[in-house]
């Protein structure tokens, strides 16, 4: 299964996230692909990601017959504020140069000449969008214009910021990736904007940010009814409401179980119950 954005580009409907994998990154990416994942998410940010190790995994996979064009690769530009001293660009350079250097570094790390999706890791402004946001977005748009990035997007964005970007950018985002809390309606405002603009909404921390959901008797009853794990219920819910879920599991069995979340269908009543569970 795939999801298609307004520009006609499709993404596999489940993505493997590589944050916080440290030295296990390469092995885990290979295990994820062996389990059936074809979309990989990373970032050029050494605090939380090992992008070059994702690239090592890709080289190994290529020797096993898994070619570059069989995989969907997504990475991110992270501002100085989101980095430690190991920036993948000159920290004192202008923002356009920083984005360009980070992008070239990502291509080198991932042994590719294009990216399927390139994402701004988060706006510079707490509210609204400032000059820095527009400069960086223009630099990211240039990669889309050149064909070096098939899709562009933004992460950790508010509904207000996304609405501004959709209204004023030359190219509105094709993907949005946000942490998704049941207590806030699973980011409903942002999801609604994405639906309206045919932007693919990617949800992360669906399990770790929503541990209270697993104690809900109704959710447990659904798991029993469908012979599914609690994580599968959450992932299936996400898919059915139009979300592309990310999983970062390090367990090969859980990787397979997560991918099997599309083997059953929740009823409209069950979807409604989960959607309003934290409100």
- Ordered by start, the domain boundaries in the chain are 2-204
pLDDT of residue 22: 98
Distance CA 193, CA 258 (A): 27
The CA-atom distances, in angstroms, between 231 and each of 47, 208, 225, 260 are 27, 10, 14, 11
pLDDT of residue 36: 98
Distance CA 169, CA 59 (A): 36
- Give 10-residue mean pLDDT values along the chain (279 residues): 97 98 98 98 98 98 97 98 98 98 98 98 97 98 98 98 98 98 96 98 97 96 98 98 98 98 97 92
pLDDT of residue 233: 98
pLDDT of residue 279: 77
Top CATH class, 2-204: alpha beta
Q: Which of 5, 18, 3 is nearest to 246 (CA)?
A: 18
Token readout for 25 is 């990154």
Q: Which of 160, 182, 172 is nearest to 233 (CA)?
A: 182
Token readout for 1 is 């299964």
Q: Which of 270, 278, 201, 208 is nearest to 242 (CA)?
A: 201
């Amino acid at each position: 299964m795939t999801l298609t954005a307004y520009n006609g580009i499709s993404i596999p409907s489940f993505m493997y996230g590589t944050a916080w994998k440290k030295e296990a990154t390469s092995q885990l990416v290979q295990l994820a692909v062996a389990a059936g994942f074809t979309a990989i998410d990373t970032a050029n940010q050494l605090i939380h990601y090992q992008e070059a190790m994702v690239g090592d995994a890709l080289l190994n996979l290529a020797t096993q017959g898994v070619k570059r064009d069989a995989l969907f690769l997504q990475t991110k530009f992270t501002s100085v504020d989101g980095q430690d001293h190991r920036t993948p660009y000159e920290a004192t350079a202008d923002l356009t140069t920083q984005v360009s250097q980070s992008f070239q570094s990502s291509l080198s790390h991932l042994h590719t000449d294009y990216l399927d999706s390139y994402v701004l890791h988060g706006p510079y402004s707490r509210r609204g969008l400032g000059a820095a946001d527009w400069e960086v977005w223009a630099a990211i748009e240039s990669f889309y214009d050149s064909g070096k990035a098939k899709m562009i997007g933004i992460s950790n964005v508010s509904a207000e910021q996304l609405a501004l970007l959709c209204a004023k950018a030359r190219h509105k985002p094709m993907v949005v990736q946000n942490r998704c809390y049941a207590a806030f309606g699973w980011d409903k405002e942002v999801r609604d904007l994405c639906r309206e603009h045919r932007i693919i909404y990617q949800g992360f921390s669906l399990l770790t940010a929503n541990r209270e959901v697993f104690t809900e008797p109704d959710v447990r009853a659904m798991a029993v009814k469908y012979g599914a794990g609690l994580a599968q219920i959450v992932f299936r819910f996400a898919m059915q409401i139009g979300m592309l879920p990310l999983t970062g599991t390090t367990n090969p069995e859980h990787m397979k179980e997560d991918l099997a979340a599309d083997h059953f269908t929740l009823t409209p009543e069950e979807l409604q119950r989960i959607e309003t569970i934290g409100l």
